[in-house]
Amino acid sequence: MDPDGNITIKWDFMTNSGDMYMVSVSIYNYQLYRHIERPGWRLGWTWPNDEVIWDMRGAETTNQGNCSKFKGDNIPHCCEKSPTIVDLLPGTPYNMQTKNCCRGGVLSSLTQDRTLAMASFQMSMESANISSPATGKPSNFTLGIPGYTCSNATVVAPSKFQFDKQRTTQALMTWEITCSFSQFRESATPSCCVSLSTFYNSTIVSCPRCSCGCQGEPTLPTCSRDGEQSNFLRLPNGDGGSTTSPAVLCTPHMCPIRVHWHVKESYREYWRVKVTITNFNMYSNYSDWNLVIQHPNFRSILQIFSFNYLPLVQYGEINDTAMFWGIKHYNDMLIQCGENGNVQTEMLLHKDAADFTFGGGWAFPRRLSFNGHDCVMPPPDSYPTMPNGSSTLSSLVHCVSLVLSSFLLSVVLLLL
């Protein structure tokens, strides 16, 4: 649903004074719906030689390393062979800031807020071999975020900058690194699931059992903590470890997030769907969450209530994918498990005569993801079915209403 999504890192060499270089590093989130949450990005690499970072603005290294070979008061900011860089926090003094810094490593998705989908910092570094691309480029780039794999640095056309309305400047040299995401690399188990229901069938199709992993027998999750019975369980992590966050409410599906799709009403020309996102995480909130759903009738959405909405048209004119996210200061925060641990919306869609039907599971989504993570769908053969003998529910309801109207009219005439 986002074929070209990636995170791109650019190194722009701005000035050169012998072996000293001023470098501007920018991180661009080019993903439509996947954002970077707290604790944020942790950019890392390995120097090819004995490079050191003398000064930084807009970010800092987590460790200084061994700088004992430098004498006097002038000590580098970092002497580590493999430094880890983190964003500064909001409220950092202005003399330590740069443009697009100081958000604690958080990056918005392109769709939600393009202005917050970028971070940058500056560093003054020393290297005797940086001018030679064959020997001077760092390697082993990482974002410090599970699921992301980064390429090596490659030389690209120098970045250009608008100095004023008449003048454009450019970097001395630019390196580019591309990082891509894999949900399978991030975790061995999913993190969300989908349940379904309709107004024409009393059956609620729950999330598949153990959708996000269970301990013990798959028929029933073992919910315990420190040997005592409890109402939550820490799920096994993707590396095979026994415990890790999140701690989720003990349910048959054991997912931190459940999305419920309910076909609510059917009118002559329209139909209405209610979507509810429930947080089963006992300790964590989801800020700036988003939901991506694929359904063929999304080209005919008429109205969305309580959520922001934008179609994601990535393949020609095929408009079957939509992104939803919360309204700022209203429901953009999905709080931890509890009475208020859910957000919900309703959408009104037009019935396209060419392909609309309630039969065969057509009314349910084809694919769904929360915060960029694909959710486990129920098997199609378990979807709520139409009442026996019905071809289209709308025509059935219309016929029943006509019969009742005729009957009531007859009763009124007899009474008169």
Residue 406 lies in a domain: no
Asked if 173 and 204 sit in the same domain, the reply is no
Residue 228 lies in a domain: no
Asked if 178 and 206 sit in the same domain, the reply is no
Choice among 96-105, 259-268, 394-403 with the minimum mean pLDDT: 394-403
Tell me if 26 sits within 8 A of 10, measured CB to CB: yes
Q: Domain range for residue 174?
A: 6-68+75-185
Asked if 30 and 148 sit in the same domain, the reply is yes
0.85 exceeded by pTM: no
Asked if 58 and 142 sit in the same domain, the reply is yes
CATH of the domain at 111: 2.60.40.290
- Token duo for residue 401: 């209403």
CA angle centred on 32, ends 28 and 38, rounded to 5°:
60
Residue 231 lies in a domain: no
Asked if 113 and 194 sit in the same domain, the reply is no
pLDDT at position 389: 39
Reported as a single tens digit per residue, the pLDDT across 313-362 is 878 888 899 999 999 999 999 998 888 899 999 999 999 988 899 988 99
Asked if 141 and 201 sit in the same domain, the reply is no
- Count the Cβ atoms, other than its own, within 10 Å of residue 27: 25
Reported as a single tens digit per residue, the pLDDT across 249-284 is 999 999 999 999 999 999 999 999 999 999 999 888
Total number of domains constituting the chain: 2
Residue 221 lies in a domain: no
Asked if 206 and 144 sit in the same domain, the reply is no
* DSSP secondary structure of 126-188: E-SSTT-HHHH--EEEE-SSTTEEE---EEESPPEEE-SSS-EEE-SEEEEEEEEE-HHHH-S
Asked if 166 and 275 sit in the same domain, the reply is no
Asked if 177 and 194 sit in the same domain, the reply is no
Choice among 122-131, 138-147, 161-170 with the minimum mean pLDDT: 122-131
Q: Hey, is 310 helix, strand or coil?
A: strand
- CA 271 – CA 358 distance, rounded (Å): 10
Residue 140 lies in a domain: yes
Asked if 296 and 315 sit in the same domain, the reply is yes
Residues 39-48: b if buried by 16+ CB within 10 A, e if exposed: ebbebbbebb
